[in-house]
């Protein structure tokens, strides 16, 4: 089985490091770093000091000259173009959390990719927070939602998410 993980911010790499190791051992795993938080020097220290495996691909999203809207526009195109140009045909694309990188789930969903969201069901119910929109959209597009607690599962059920698509897995 081929799985792609898409991650863009440093805390998510830390939180996903054990998951990355397991995916590498059990599956054909491709890691894409969207570059949402990217600094070449800091990234060198980050991956080396924390012994986190380097991504297979790194996009250049986080330039300061891009607005959040421009970042999303770039990511939406760049990820799909990367998958197509490199002939990467995953059976599942996994996201963690609520960064802008998670919104790439929307165009991937529209292109027919199967989506998984780790950290699903979290809600602040404050639509002024960009992260709230990101997490709600990613949950909606996901075929599989991995939630930390039964409460998060209940929230998704209240939003009419298919109960068979929700898995309570605890915290990464």
Among candidate residues 84, 81, 94, 79, the one with its CA nearest the CA of residue 24:
94
pLDDT at 63: 63
List the CATH number of the domain containing 98. Answer: 3.40.50.2000
Sequence-ordered list of residues with C-beta below 8 angstroms from that of 107, at least 6 positions apart, any chain:
76, 77, 79, 80
Is the pTM higher than 0.95? no
CA angle 89, 93, 96 (to 5 degrees): 160
pLDDT tens digits, residue range 8-63?
888 888 889 999 999 999 999 999 999 876 666 667 777 888 888 889 999 987 66
> Which residue range(s) make up the domain with 135?
2-168
Counting DSSP H helices and E strands in the chain, the numbers are 6, 7
Sheet with 2-7, side-by-side order of all strands: 57-58, 28-33, 2-7, 92-96, 115-120, 144-147, 166-168
pLDDT digits (tens, 9 = 90+) for 109-146: 999 999 999 999 999 999 999 999 999 999 999 999 99
Domain count, the chain: 1
Q: Which regions of 42-170 does DSSP assign to beta strands (E)?
A: 57-58, 92-96, 115-120, 144-147, 166-168
Examine the pLDDT at 154 and tell me if it is beyond 90: yes
Q: How far is CA 110 from CA 15, 72, 141, 142, in A?
A: 28, 15, 9, 11
166 versus 47: which is more confidently predicted?
166
Q: For residue 137, which of 163, 164, 110 has the smallest C-alpha distance?
A: 110
d(CA 108, CA 116): 11
Mean pLDDT of 154-158: 98
């Amino acid at each position: 089985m081929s799985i792609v993980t898409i991650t863009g911010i440093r805390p998510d790499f830390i939180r996903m490091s054990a998951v990355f190791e397991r995916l590498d051992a059990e599956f054909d795993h491709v890691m894409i770093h969207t570059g949402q938080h990217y600094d070449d020097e800091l990234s060198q220290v980050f991956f080396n000091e924390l012994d986190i495996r380097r991504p297979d691909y790194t996009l250049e999203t986080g330039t300061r000259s891009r607005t959040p809207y421009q970042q999303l526009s770039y990511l939406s195109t760049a990820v799909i173009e990367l998958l197509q140009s490199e002939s990467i045909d995953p059976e599942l694309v996994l996201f963690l959390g609520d960064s802008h990188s998670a919104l790439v789930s929307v165009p991937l969903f529209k292109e027919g990719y199967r989506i998984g969201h780790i950290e699903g069901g979290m809600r602040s119910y404050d639509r002024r927070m960009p992260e709230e929109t990101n997490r709600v959209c990613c949950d909606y597009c996901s075929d599989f939602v991995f939630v930390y607690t039964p409460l998060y599962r209940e929230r998704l059920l209240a939003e009419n998410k298919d109960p068979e698509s929700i898995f309570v897995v605890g915290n990464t």
